[in-house]
Amino acid sequence: MMRINRRTDYAVRVMLALADHPYGERLSTRFIREKMLVPRAFLERIIAELSKARLILTFPGPNGGIQLNARPEEITLRNIWEAIEGPLLISDCLQSPEECPLHENCPVRDCWGKLQKAMQRELETVTIGYLSHELKKKQALHMD
């Protein structure tokens, strides 16, 4: 039914949790998984993938933890998405048209190509900094 991958969802939660604290601050994954309700073993793998993609820095040992490797305004949803699932590809047809059984005149390629482009554009436009900022505005409203 075309749902968001839960791992990607969790990855965004992690990045937003980091962005919610002063830049450069280090959080433990334990803190994050309790706050964001993510099962341990699952989260650890996500952390590892974010780290491989150089979106975060990780430090083992006591006082270890993770921190952002770039300012939140510089990290897009596309960066996170690709760190977890690789490039967005909503139909095989779009990657290798030559393998499409309907060949170069596949009537559907245009259709999904347009949708994918719209999605890509959105993922590139939205940054963690923006989302974090919006979230803080909302939280301020609910204070009263």
Residues that bind DNA (CB under 7 A): 1-3, 5-7, 27-30, 39, 41-42, 44-45, 47-48, 51-52, 58-66
Does residue number 111 form part of the binding site for a second copy (CB under 8 A)? yes
Give the integer Cα–Cα distance in Å for 96 and 90: 12
Other Cβ atoms closer than 10 A to 113: 15
Task: Look at residues 83, 87, 73, 92 and name the one whose alpha carbon lies nearest to residue 119.
Answer: 87
Least separation in angstroms between CB 74 and a second copy: 17
Exposure on the CB side of residue 116, measured as CA atoms within 13 A:
15
Instruction: Quote the Cα angle for 126-5-28, to 5°.
Output: 75
What are residue 89's phi and psi, to 5 degrees? -155, 100
User: What's the full length of the chain, in residues?
Assistant: 144
Interface with a second copy by CB under 8 A: which range of 13-21, 39-47, 55-63, 67-75? 13-21
| Contact map string, positions 119 to 138, toward a second copy, x by CB under 8 A | x-xxx--x----xx-xx--x
| Contact map string, positions 54 to 93, toward a second copy, x by CB under 8 A | -----------------------x-------xx-xxxxx-
User: Where do the DSSP E strands lie in the chain?
Assistant: 56-59, 65-68
Binding residues vs a second copy (CB under 8 A): 1-5, 9, 12-13, 16-17, 20, 36-37, 77, 85-86, 88-92, 101-102, 104-105, 107-108, 110-112, 114-115, 118-119, 121-123, 126, 131-132, 134-135, 138-139, 142
